[in-house]
Structure 1
Amino acid sequence: MVSTSGAADEQKATRDSTPIDDERTCVVTDTLSRKTTARNTGQLSAATPILLACGIIAPLLNISVLLVLGAIRPDYNALVVPDSNLELGPGGWMQITNYIVTGALLLAFTVGAKWRLLRGPGSTWVPVLLCVYGLTFVAIGPILPDPSLGYPLGASEELTVHGAVHSLLGLVQFSSLTAACFVLARRDAKLGNLGWSTYSKVSGLLIAGSYLAFALVAKLVDGGPAGLIERIGLVVCGTWIALLAIRLMKQSAQHGSAT
């Protein structure tokens, strides 16, 4: 009888203490989770301006390098030949590196942009499309184009698999940024930012138009200004990204001062 009574008392004590222990465990777990989340959020928030600044550096780097290389490369006509042909011939590694580094910077910018565009229309698709845009730069580095439009001088312009893939990546590149412009335009229109909405729409149309014009001139007009048209499109792309980065950096600074 004594043993049975003692066991019953022990079971009762265990039963009575279980809810309290569970509650304490939940409180401790929740507290640790909140601290971890706050710490990670603080670290990401502190890194956001740096990540967003990559959106300014990337287009400046890409355009500066291709303009310099196009000016100093023998037998290369920047008005006619696309910038990707700078990957071919002597010194091609410099343009290859330019593409890869530019792509890496754009991917870093995408992370910062995603952090700033947390909610609302386009908060998912704008970063996704920017990510695709950055990845295409990384990919076209090692995947070389075929010789075309007379450069490199005397090289066979026969179509190859890697050349076709390179051209396809170029189409994806311009298409993804065009789509990002229109998605952001829709977001800004809904949020009442009509100036930015209009600018993004115009940029999207110019990007798409420049790519189409480049492709047609390169295909149909012998010695036509395909290279110039492509570079105009790249400047439009780079300007839109850089201005978006500046805009998001200002928003990040305002958010930081408010908190």
Structure 2
Amino acid sequence: MTTSTTRALLLCAAVAGPLWSAVSLAQAATREGFDLTRHPLSLLSTGSLGWLQIANFVVGGILLLLGAAGLRRALDGGWAPRLVAVAGAGMIAAGVLVMDPADGFPAGTPAGPGALGPAGIGHLAAGSITFLSLIAACHVLGRRFSREGARGRAVASRVAGTALLLGNLWAMGGGTGGSLTLAVGAITAMLWIAWVAAETALKGRR
């Protein structure tokens, strides 16, 4: 059985994905000039209300770091908790390093990609680290579930990781609606990590 401390840490990971997703999507639906088919969710960190998304990244990253400690205890170590921890650190860095305004957002910004400053470059690097870590974590969990004979969970893990991989590749390749496919992939992977953490906490898996 998991201890109360381990369960509390796992619940941090269980909250991280849904919280980050809900706050991001709520802003995407309400911020003037934001278009999820053209603008990545990271762009919400710019403008007068940018502090909301900055805080969202930092809080989400801290929750993932805490959750990774819970996963390490509950799953007896392994690569999955380490990868979740790296993803958490990447999210914190992505919050601190703010993306540059671009493509008409915030409202009044000229159309086009815009200038890419040091913070913007750092944000892209942090985002890449986060995405790669989440992709790997999902596939590592898929392999773990396969060994345990949990075929449904193994398939779901691999689907979540592949969704983020394909969404990221499509966005990097400049595909139509790339920001949307990336958002779908990132949210899918984060919600799957959250589900695994919540299930582990509730069932007392070791």
TM-score, length-scaled by structure 2: 0.90
1:184 to 121, 141, 148: 141
Q: Distance in 2 between matches of 1:238 and 1:205?
A: 12
1:133 to 62, 76, 87: 87
Query: Retained in 1: the 8 A contact 2:68–2:84?
Result: yes
Q: Distance in 1 between matches of 2:52 and 2:166?
A: 29
Is 1:154 the counterpart of 2:106? The answer is no
Please report how far the alpha carbon of residue 66 of structure 1 lies from its aligned counterpart in structure 2 after TM superposition: 1.0
Q: Distance in 2 between matches of 1:61 and 1:239?
A: 10
Please report how far the alpha carbon of residue 192 of structure 1 lies from its aligned counterpart in structure 2 after TM superposition: 2.2
1:73 to 14, 31, 44: 31
Is 1:101 the counterpart of 2:78? The answer is no
Please report how far the alpha carbon of residue 57 of structure 1 lies from its aligned counterpart in structure 2 after TM superposition: 1.3
Q: Distance in 2 between matches of 1:105 and 1:186?
A: 24
Q: Distance in 2 between matches of 1:126 and 1:91?
A: 34
Q: C-alpha offsets along residues 201-243 of structure 1, whole Å, 9 cap, x if unaligned? A: 22211110111112223xxx5xx42332122112211221121
- Structure whose alpha-carbon radius of gyration is higher: 1
Structure 1 runs, 4 residues or longer, greater than 3 Å off: none
Identity %: 31
Aligned Cα RMSD in Å?
Answer: 2.0
Give 1:45's aligned residue. 3
Opposite residue 183 of structure 2, the aligned amino acid is: R
TM-score, length-scaled by structure 1: 0.73
Give 2:158's aligned residue. 201
Give 1:227's aligned residue. 179
Please report how far the alpha carbon of residue 163 of structure 1 lies from its aligned counterpart in structure 2 after TM superposition: 1.0
1:248 to 196, 200, 204: 200
Deviates more, 1:99-108 or 1:150-159: 150-159
SS in 2 for 1:228: helix
Opposite residue 57 of structure 2, the aligned amino acid is: Y
Q: Note the residue ranges of structure 2 that are not aligned, 5 or more in a row.
A: none
Query: Retained in 1: the 8 A contact 2:142–2:154?
Result: yes
| Structure with the higher fraction of residues in helix conformation | 1
Q: C-alpha offsets along residues 101-143 of structure 1, whole Å, 9 cap, x if unaligned? A: 111111111111111011xxxx321111000011111111110
Deviates more, 1:51-60 or 1:185-194: 185-194
Ranked by relative contact order (alpha carbons within 8 Å, sequence separation 6 or more), the top structure is 2
